[in-house]
Amino acid sequence: MRVETKLPKVGTTIFTVMSQLAAQHGAVNLGQGFPDFPVPARLVEALTRAMQAGHNQYSMMTGIPALRQAIASKTARCYDWMPDVDAEITVTSGATEAIFNAIHAVVRAGEEVIVLDPCYDCYEPAIELAGATAVHVALNPQTFAPDWDAVRAAITPRTRMLMINSPHNPSGAMFSAADMQALIALLDGTEIILLSDEVYEHIVFDGARHESALLYPQLRQRAFVISSFGKTYHCTGWKLGYAIAPPALSAEFRKVHQYNVFCSFNPAQHAFAEMIEAEPEHYETLGAFYQDKRDRFRAQLATTRLKLLPVPGGYFQLVDYSAVSDLPDLEFARWLTQAHGVTGIPLSPFYANPPAGQRLLRLCFAKNEATVNAAVERLSKL
């Protein structure tokens, strides 16, 4: 039987490829973005209690009321705006499902979605499966700041959605208040829907404010805002996230969600509802927690031949390895894993058209001290 692929450009993700290579060669894995330190004790205990209490069947399709209320209260606390618990919040099986749902809820075949490169690798496949076209607009290759004139030039009558991501994966760059005002002006008078991927919303450094789309009425009235419990609470394997959107967009979103997964992991919903209410200091101090890790990692890497790019947010450090090698990034990542026992993620898979001569590797510092020390010891020998 001949099978014609619907995703001809897609193979195994770079994250899986590099993690498998790391395991094969016994390398220190700073590639895939998952923490290797414990989940908060209260959260584990609450999950156990939820399972023992019998919360093991389907939840409500939109998420349990207690969790949606906790999300609403947290949103008001962080962004001074309270979403409607019943009409504007939907709990999902991770941010990736939420992104897929949002695209398929509103984007039709033949339409266009603007993405800003480098962008996370789940964006384009979801767009293509909707029969639409991803229109790639490059961020500045040094600062990863948006060029709003270039974004404006990419808009056509077929543009249905614009996708943004701040703090940004892979670079850690963040939108400024001026960026948000430029975005408001750009979208004013259009029917373009905004998808704001904010999974690293609480991992911001140096006293900066996360410029959420939820802070701006002109944006939140046309936006899906996506977040992730896995990133905030060190439990990426639990696959729980949520989408906040105005009622009309949420209604369309839920039509896709209910026939995609219907509902998400029920015991974890109860656990997160308790955790958010009982320990708000966890997300409020998450930036400081990761800033300590960032600063220590950067101080250690400063002794190597790698050039460090700024990290305003998120838990990834980009390094320029051009002083070490002139290999293209994928070849360098493989060589580094095989020859020196450290695994990172090359940047080229995040682009439709990678900048010529770019020599950047993404390293994850959401790791315990022993993991980081082992990696730096090996990197210092380059």
Residue 34: predicted pLDDT = 83
Share of the chain above pLDDT 70, in %: 100
**pLDDT confidence of 12, banded at 50, 70, 90?**
confident
The chain-wide mean pLDDT, for the chain, equals 97
Residue 95 is which amino acid? A
H/E stretch holding 306 reads none
Residue 106: predicted pLDDT = 98
The residue behind tokens 């015991």 is: 267
**What spatial distance separates the first Cα and last Cα of the chain, rounded to whole Å?**
49
Q: How far from the centroid of its chain's Cα atoms is residue 200's Cα? A: 6
pTM: 0.96
Q: What share of the chain is helix, strand, coil (3-state, %, to 5)?
A: 45, 15, 40
Residue 33: predicted pLDDT = 85
User: Span 283-297, mean pLDDT?
Assistant: 98
Does residue 364 contact residue 35 with C-beta atoms inside 8 Å? no
User: Span 51-65, mean pLDDT?
Assistant: 98
**pLDDT confidence of 13, banded at 50, 70, 90?**
confident
pLDDT tens digit string along 176-207?
Answer: 999 999 999 999 999 999 999 999 999 999 99
Indicate if the pLDDT at residue 11 is higher than 90.
Answer: no
Q: Which of 75, 147, 133 is nearest to 103 (CA)?
A: 133
Does residue 337 contact residue 21 with C-beta atoms inside 8 Å? yes
* Alpha carbons 319 and 310: distance in angstroms, whole number: 9
Q: Could you give all domains of the chain from N- to C-terminal order, each with its CATH number?
A: 14-39+285-379 (3.90.1150.10), 41-282 (3.40.640.10)
Share of the chain above pLDDT 90, in %: 96
Alpha-carbon dihedral sign for residues 110, 112, 113, 118: positive
Does residue 313 contact residue 290 with C-beta atoms inside 8 Å? no
pLDDT tens digit string along 94-123?
Answer: 999 999 999 999 999 999 999 999 999 999
